[in-house]
């Protein structure tokens, strides 16, 4: 993958605007990732953020080469429900895809096997339903959910955890943000389908209200 970062070999840091262009994210997201430590950064005496080249290159190396085209389509009047599943067990990812493909609303299901790829996908596709395992590589589910909940852009996103950790262990590790539904493994597909149906009903109600 070639970018302005790769070509500019003499530059050791970037502005958040440059980072946004390199990673194809919004400037606000670049600022947020700089603040929460996902990107290593500092502030100049004038208050401007500078992000280290090393941390940007690390994200580029970890990032998926492609994102499924169906995840990048523009929002239509009534588009398919977007679901992002984040799980590092490949057999479970296949199970998610197989089961969710049979849901009545035929959702657009995208998968990621680590937290960094998942955050970049969220930025691009803005899913309606996010399903996350807590113990994932790159950035674990705990930090990933904190990053997303701190961003007002995702305030309306429905987020669910499906984890093998028990309640006490989740709390010991810091817990999850308010409003995130925690479900146990094995994957409770009936409960996830209920969540998806509620989201779909809200989406259609909004479309109905906006239609003359």
pLDDT for the residue numbered 19: 84
Specify whether 116 is located in the same domain as 28.
no
Q: CATH no. for residue 113?
A: 3.40.50.2300
Whether 165 and 185 have beta carbons less than 8 Å apart is answered as no
Q: Is residue 170 part of a domain?
A: yes
Specify whether 15 is located in the same domain as 112.
no
For residue 125, how far is the Cα from the chain centroid? 9
Specify whether 49 is located in the same domain as 83.
no
Cα 78 to Cα 61, 82, 86: the distances in Å are: 35, 12, 25
pLDDT for the residue numbered 57: 82
Specify whether 51 is located in the same domain as 156.
no
Q: Is residue 121 part of a domain?
A: yes
Domain total of the chain:
2
* DSSP SS3 for 151: coil
Structure tokens at 165: 């950790």
Q: Going from the first residue of the chain to its last (212 residues), give the mean pLDDT of each consecutive group of 10, the final group possibly shorter.
A: 46 86 80 76 86 82 46 52 96 92 92 95 95 95 95 94 96 95 94 94 74 52
pLDDT for the residue numbered 62: 60
Give me the phi and psi of 170, to 5 degrees please: -60, -45
Q: CATH no. for residue 31?
A: 1.10.1660.10
Measured CA angle at 35 (ends 176, 172), to 5 deg = 25
Specify whether 85 is located in the same domain as 125.
yes
Q: Is residue 29 part of a domain?
A: yes
Specify whether 123 is located in the same domain as 200.
yes
pLDDT for the residue numbered 210: 55
pLDDT for the residue numbered 32: 75
Q: Is residue 162 part of a domain?
A: yes
Specify whether 188 is located in the same domain as 140.
yes
Specify whether 109 is located in the same domain as 34.
no
| The model's pTM | 0.71
Specify whether 91 is located in the same domain as 57.
no
Q: Is residue 3 part of a domain?
A: no
DSSP for 66-89 reads: ---GGGSPPP-TTPPPEEEEE-S-
Q: Quick one: CA dihedral 164, 84, 147, 90, positive or negative?
A: positive
Specify whether 58 is located in the same domain as 147.
no
In a 10 Å sphere around its CB, with 0-12 CB exposed, 13-18 middle and 19+ buried, how is residue 212 labelled?
exposed
Domain, as residue range, for 109? 73-210
Looking up tokens 């600022």, which residue turns up?
31
pLDDT in tens, 142-155: 999 999 999 999 99
Element (H, E) at 49: strand 49-52
pLDDT, the chain, mean: 83
Q: Is residue 68 part of a domain?
A: no
């Amino acid at each position: 993958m070639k970018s302005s970062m790769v070509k500019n070999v003499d530059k050791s840091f970037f502005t958040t605007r440059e980072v946004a262009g390199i990673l194809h994210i919004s400037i606000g997201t670049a600022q947020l990732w700089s603040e929460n430590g996902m990107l290593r950064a500092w502030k100049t005496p004038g208050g401007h953020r500078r992000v280290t080249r090393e941390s940007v290159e690390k994200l580029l190396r970890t990032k998926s080469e492609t994102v499924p085209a169906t995840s990048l389509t523009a929002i239509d009047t009534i588009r398919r429900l977007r679901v992002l599943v984040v799980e590092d067990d490949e057999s479970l990812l296949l199970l998610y895809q197989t089961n969710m493909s049979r849901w009545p609303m035929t959702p657009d299901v995208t998968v990621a096997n680590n937290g960094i790829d998942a955050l970049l996908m969220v930025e691009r596709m803005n899913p309606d339903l996010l399903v996350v395992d807590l113990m994932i590589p790159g950035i674990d589910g705990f930090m990933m959910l904190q990053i997303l909940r701190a961003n007002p852009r995702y305030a309306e996103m429905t987020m669910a955890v499906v984890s093998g950790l028990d309640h006490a262990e989740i709390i010991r590790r810091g817990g999850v943000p308010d409003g995130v539904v925690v479900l146990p493994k094995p994957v409770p597909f009936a409960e996830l389908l209920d969540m998806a149906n509620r989201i779909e009903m809200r989406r259609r109600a909004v479309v109905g209200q906006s239609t003359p």
